[in-house]
Amino acid sequence: MPRVPAKSSAGRSSAEKPPRPDPRALLSWYDRSRRDLPWRAAPGERADPYSVWLSEIMLQQTTVEAVKPYFHAFLARWPSVAALAAAPLEEVMKAWAGLGYYARARNLHACAQQVAFERGGIFPREEGDLLSLPGVGPYTAAAVAAIAFDAPCVAVDGNVERVVARLFAIDRPIREAKRDLREQAQTLLPAARSGDFTQALMDLGATVCTPRAPRCDLCPLAPACAAALRGETERFPVKAQKLDKPLRRGAAFVVTSGGAALLRTRPPRGLLGGMSEFPSTPFRVDFDPSRARAHAPMAARWKELPGAVEHVFTHFSLRLTIFAATLPAPPPYIENGRWTPLARLSEEGLPTLMRKVAIRAGLIVE
Ligand code: SF4
């Protein structure tokens, strides 16, 4: 039986080489269909580098919807990079609480101080210079350079990777093809409007070229999309083999006395660095919950609460056993500890994991 080349909705066969994607078509689509985001400049206006940088740091590993309230709150409280640089780190960390990946908040503050105190409050325009700032990696440098300064570069986030993988039918999982994807994206760049182009690719990935059921009928790049022309949009990006996250365990100790709870501050570096916590053990794969009491911050009648707290970090899952105790009077001194009135726990800027612990212990309501 003769083999028939696959037909796409556009009626082309997979044997035909797709034409080059037309960046002008994408820009026209963007002018009609761009998302209205609080950190974006209005059409024809220049973007504010501070807003672009702030939003891009917040958007690392975080959704647009989760970022919006934090972006508004930060901008209202610290409307310029100089204001953010002058703020105490502790206040910035508290304002960041709940957004996760807390190293970003420390780097955000360090970066603001570098820009404000060493660069006269002016963000560098070049991708290479931006890369030298704390917390600014290749993606963020490209995004700020392109969006704030129209530098000729494309910021390749997860949405853009998906679009490019489909456009060029890249036959490897994204994590193996990152360099290729960046290079292919760069070949699409038009001579002008780099910032709009990068945001157009992001918007296309977020609203049209979605992970499931992409709306190729609405896509300005469909005539040049290899995956669509082959009728194989769902096959791209090629799925990587799933690696299970390792499970770590640990314990947290919730002790209350006279209407206050014992908290401490985690070391500045590492997981949840600088954030408030209920005294906790290290989180380890080989942690033995039956020996957890040996890590308690003081002698007390510790009671294990039913049901562990589960939390997922980027590289591991955590199961935290919770122990609770009530003391008739607080000890006069506990190294690195402080007693926080229960009514003020919500002002402590607890990270999400510790909020879950507080909820499980009945100290705050969900
Ligand atoms: S044609 Fe379809 S698969 Fe290709 S880029 Fe557009 S939305 Fe994505």
67-79: pLDDT as tens digits: 999 999 999 999 9
For residue 5, pLDDT over 70 is answered with no
Sequence spans of domains, the chain: 23-235, 247-360
- Residue in 20, 181, 188, 233 to alter for ligand 1 test, most ligand atoms within 8 A of Cβ: 233
**Across residues 269-289, what is the average pLDDT?**
91
> Is there an atom of ligand 1 within 6 Å of 47 CB?
no
DSSP 8-state class, residue 117: I
> What are the CA-CA distances from residue 143 to residues 64, 191, 298 (Å)?
15, 17, 49
Distance 224 CA to ligand 1 centre (A): 9
**CATH class belonging to 23-235:** mainly alpha
CB 164 within 8 A of CB 136: no
Convert the pLDDT of each residue in 10-47 to its tens digit: 333 444 678 999 999 999 999 999 999 999 999 989 89
Please tell me the predicted confidence (pLDDT) of residue 336: 82
pLDDT reading at 7 higher than 50: no
179-188 pLDDT, tens per residue? Answer: 999 999 999 9
Instruction: Examine the pLDDT at 241 and tell me if it is beyond 80.
Output: no
Q: What is the pLDDT of residues 97-110, one digit of tens each?
A: 999 888 899 999 99
Contacts of 329 (CB under 8 A, 6+ apart): 257, 258
Is any ligand 1 atom within 6 A of the Cβ of residue 200? Answer: no
User: Which residue is closest in CA terms to ligand 1's atom 1?
Assistant: 222
As a whole number, mean pLDDT of residues 183-211 equals 96
**Active-site residue list:** 56
pLDDT at 242: 73
pLDDT, tens digit, 9 for 90 and up, residues 122-140? 999 999 999 999 999 999 9
Q: What pLDDT is recorded for position 2?
A: 31
314 pLDDT band (50/70/90 cuts)? confident
**Res. 6: pLDDT tops 60:** no
What is the rounded average pLDDT for all residues in the chain?
91
Cα-to-centroid distance, 233 and ligand 1 (Å): 7
User: What pLDDT was estimated at residue 173?
Assistant: 92
* Mean pLDDT across 208-235: 96
247-360 belongs to CATH 3.90.79.10? yes
The closest-lying atom of ligand 1 relative to the alpha carbon of residue 226 is 4
Q: How sure is the predictor about 3, in pLDDT bands with cuts at 50, 70 and 90?
A: very low
pLDDT for position 11: 36
225 lines ligand 1 (CB under 6 A): yes
Q: Is the CB of residue 18 below 6 angstroms from any atom belonging to ligand 1?
A: no
* Whole-number pLDDT of residue 334: 79
Residues in the chain: 366
Q: Find out whether the beta carbon of 163 lies less than 6 Å from any atom of ligand 1.
A: yes
- What sign has the CA pseudo-torsion 253, 259, 262, 265? positive
Model confidence band, residue 290 (pLDDT cutoffs 50, 70, 90) = confident
Gap from CA of 300 to ligand 1 centroid (Å): 61
- Domains 23-235 and 247-360 fall in the same CATH topology: no
The β-bridge partners of 304 are 323
pLDDT tops 50 at residue 168: yes
Residue 227 CA, ligand 1 centroid: distance in Å: 7
Per-residue confidence (pLDDT) for residue 16, from 0 to 100: 62
User: For residue 4, is pLDDT > 50?
Assistant: no
CA dist 177 and 325 (Å) reads: 52
pLDDT of 12: 37
216 lines ligand 1 (CB under 6 A): yes
The set of residues, in sequence order, having a beta carbon less than 8 Å from that of 285 and lying 6+ positions away, is 246, 247, 248, 249
**Full-model pTM:** 0.73
The answer to whether residues 199 and 30 touch, using CB atoms and an 8 Å cutoff, is yes
